[in-house]
Chains A and B, each alone.
Chain A
Amino acid sequence: MPNRVAIVGIGQTRHQNTRLDVTLPEMINEAVRAALADAELSLKDIEAVFTSSMETFEGIYLPDHGGAAEIGTYMKPGFKVGTGGTSGASVVVEGFSMVSGGLYDLALVIGFEKQDCGETTAAITAAATPIWGKGAVTGAIGEFAKQALSYLETSGAKEEHAAMVRLKADRGACLNEYSHLKLGLKSIDEVLQSGYLVWPLRMLDFCPQSSGACALIFAEEKKAKKISKKPVWIADVEVVHQEPFRAGTFGDPTGKETYTQHVACERLYKRNGITKPMKDIDMAELYEPSNWEEMSLYEHFHFCEKNEGWKLVEQGVTEIEGAFPVNPSGGVIATNPIGATPTIRVAEAALQIRGDAGGHQVPKDIKTALATALGGPNWTVLTLLKRSL
């Protein structure tokens, strides 16, 4: 019988555009210390360390090796994973496998990215096969612009709905001490006045480049119950990758292809007896690189029917005080250190279950939460967290 695994420690850095004051290992160290302090453990107790980052962003080969002392890998087992946007969740899955499989009782899982080191868009563009590179380069922004255009044209949503999502995210971010962009937006007009980056995506519609790290401590059941009064259980995970869509990256205008989001959530929901996601789950931390994508994701994850995502926004369902809060932390659109972002989604969902999210804690009691990750081209990783199994 595989072991049950819980998150017993959570730590993040205060995510920022640049962290010129620290080296990469020093930055990671901050998150590790925070997680250890949260769990009231010391590095001695940790048996293995698993890391995630996209090293091309920093231009550092083998970043889990550099600064082994600061990261916590010194004289410990572990390895690094790297799967692009979903990397931070892939490491959660691998850490979960290791503890669940009985190889380690206490593991440290870290996602990190220091994007001030390098040229992020160039690095993302380098994800296109180099042999096909020249004609297709638009970076992530271009691809999400296409998705936004699709959604605008087919779903009935208006730019105002996207602006409302952006406001919601900013409200959450301003209450979240760790988030990067705290803009203090007061009205949707402010969003609608920001300039277009790649039409129809405006400056404020897309996620920033952040530098930050997030560390989680996983423990097997017996240890978890001893270490933490509020262990957050990893009930299930699901990883689904795909061949790139023929006519898009994050959206399929042909309507013929299958979305990983559908496959992943259908498998996860079935295994966990979830038939009405917004009732059976209490909230979600989605990986939404743009506000338009967030509305699409509501539909993909079956929170509502197709082309109705914007209605949830209009009705305030996904607001922090709503019936089904989504991204009370501010989401990816406020904070995006790529290698860490999915790990942050899991961390934020866990904090909500514990009731420890501070200023951005949702008012309703959270027993079950869904954390998602999105990577190129449209890969999905889901993590289902519960207060009790």
Chain B
Amino acid sequence: MAKKNPKEKNTKEKEPEYISVQFDAPRKYRWSTGKYMGRTYQEAKENKKLVANRCVKCKEVLWPPVEVCGRCKVEAGEDWVELSQTGTVMQYTYLVYPLWDPHYGEKFANPYPNAMILLDGGVYIRHFLEETDQKKLKVGMRVQAVWREDHERGEGTADVKYFRTIDS
């Protein structure tokens, strides 16, 4: 602990002490998944599958699934497709500082990588990677979804714990 220079005490003015009010109460929410994301949640929980709908007009797979295709501006329809669970890492960031997740009130243990993965079949998904050694992370590496246990599932994409590196 640094010692205060005795001379400093006389020349420096006392820092003003500001009084502030603290607020720590959690705010609870209950978000409905609705018809489309609700189905994704259900498939993930019950069948360990990732599903999304394909827009009837542009034929793109909409992830997250949605009633109206934002780009086409028409109702997307209910052509449900199952997404592949393996993919390629397109981009990743390596977070070194602890991040608060405000929805779940947790602080993620750091450091950890978060990646943009291109699933085989063409859908982009953002998710965590299992590999925490930054030196081993590479754009282009192949990964596969690892699911949580049966009793842990029920949180949509969070049912996929992370993506594990696999040999291509």
The reply to whether A and B meet directly (CB within 8 Å) is yes
A residues touching B (Cβ–Cβ < 8 Å)?
A: 20-21, 59, 119, 121-123, 125-126, 129-139, 142, 145-146, 149-150, 196-199, 243, 246-248, 253-254
Q: A59-B23, A134-B158, A135-B158 are in contact. Are A145 and B102 (CB under 8 A)?
A: no
How extensive is the interface on chain B, given as a class? 35 or more
Q: A21-B18, A130-B29, A146-B91 are in contact. Are A197 and B97 (CB under 8 A)?
A: yes
State whether A248 touches B116 (Cβ < 8 A): yes
In the complex, the chain B residue whose C-beta lies closest to that of A199 is: B94
Interface residues in B88-133 (C-beta closer than 8 Å to A): 90-91, 93-97, 99-104, 108, 114, 116, 118, 123-128
In the complex, the chain A residue whose C-beta lies closest to that of B160 is: A135
State whether B91 touches A196 (Cβ < 8 A): no
The answer for the CA separation of A253 and B91 in the assembled complex, in Å, is 9
Residue in A122, A138, A139, A246 whose CB lies within 8 Å of B124:
A246
In the complex, the chain A residue whose C-beta lies closest to that of B94 is: A199
State whether A247 touches B118 (Cβ < 8 A): yes
Residue in B37, B93, B124, B158 whose CB lies within 8 Å of A199:
B93
Residue in B20, B23, B71, B91 whose CB lies within 8 Å of A20:
B20
Most buried by B among A149, A150, A247: A247
In the complex, the chain B residue whose C-beta lies closest to that of A257 is: B71
In the complex, the chain B residue whose C-beta lies closest to that of A149 is: B91
The answer for the CA separation of A372 and B81 in the assembled complex, in Å, is 40
B40 → chain A closest CB, angstroms:
9
The answer for the CA separation of A136 and B124 in the assembled complex, in Å, is 12
Residues of B near A246 (CB, < 8 A) are 63, 123-124
State whether B108 touches A146 (Cβ < 8 A): no
State whether B99 touches A137 (Cβ < 8 A): yes
State whether B99 touches A196 (Cβ < 8 A): no
- Please count the residue pairs between chain A and chain B whose beta carbons lie under 8 angstroms apart in the complex: 103
Residue in A123, A130, A198, A253 whose CB lies within 8 Å of B94:
A198
The 6 A-B residue pairs with the shortest CB-CB distance in the complex, in nearest-first order:
A243-B70, A20-B18, A134-B158, A122-B100, A135-B127, A122-B102
15 contacts between A and B (CB under 8 A): A121-B100, A130-B31, A131-B31, A131-B41, A131-B64, A131-B156, A132-B156, A134-B157, A135-B158, A137-B114, A138-B93, A149-B93, A247-B116, A248-B91, A253-B91
Residues of A near B71 (CB, < 8 A) are 243
The answer for the CA separation of A23 and B91 in the assembled complex, in Å, is 42
State whether A125 touches B126 (Cβ < 8 A): no
In the complex, the chain A residue whose C-beta lies closest to that of B95 is: A198
Interface residues in B123-168 (C-beta closer than 8 Å to A): 123-128, 134, 155-158, 160
Any A CB within 8 A of the CB of B16: yes
State whether A197 touches B103 (Cβ < 8 A): no
In the complex, the chain B residue whose C-beta lies closest to that of A142 is: B93
Residues of B near A136 (CB, < 8 A) are 114, 126-127, 157
Residues of B near A145 (CB, < 8 A) are 93
B21-36 CB mask vs A (1 if < 8 Å, else 0) is: 0010000010101000
In the complex, the chain A residue whose C-beta lies closest to that of B19 is: A20
State whether B101 touches A198 (Cβ < 8 A): no
Known interface pairs A146-B93, A198-B97; 4 further A-B residue pairs with C-beta atoms within 8 A, sorted by A's residue number: A129-B64, A142-B95, A146-B116, A254-B124
In the complex, the chain B residue whose C-beta lies closest to that of A244 is: B70
Residues of B near A119 (CB, < 8 A) are 100, 102
The answer for the CA separation of A16 and B142 in the assembled complex, in Å, is 45
